[in-house]
Amino acid sequence: MKRITLIFAFVLCVVLGASAQIENPVTWSYGQKKISKTEAIVFLKATIEDGWHIYSQNVKPGGPIKTTITFSPSKDYTKVGATSEPKPMTKFEKTFDMNVSYFEKQVIFQQKVKLNKANTTVKGKIEFMVCNDSKCLPPSDVDFSVQVK
């Protein structure tokens, strides 16, 4: 009887452990390119697992959570214009009763910055929501830090 109880407990732990794994279908990487002594471009790259997508920064109200990129205020740099993104895919989603713009596989967001100091660190936060054909995960926040030299 002890052996059956022990086996049952082991199987229960394995099943619960497997179901408790957190899905993380998006990984982020960061880079920069200095384009002059006083300007640089910061790159924020999302790599998205097959079957998943994240939404554009330009989703209209009433739709899914759009990707929002916030740069931390600093005396060392100033944002130049808005954060750019490539042309997204667009499709009608019945859930939201509207066309939504999104990215699959990967997307690189770019932000030009004016440097007030030769070497600085550009920091901020990315908020995004990832979905597949059957579900959406809760919105995630990711902090980023990019050393500009």
Query: What does the pLDDT read at residue 14?
Result: 39
pTM to 2 decimal places: 0.84
Q: Which helix (H) or strand (E) holds 8?
A: helix 2-19
The answer to whether domain 23-148 has CATH 2.60.40.1250 is yes
DSSP H helices, 2-125, are 2-19
Flag residues of the chain having pLDDT under 70: 1-21
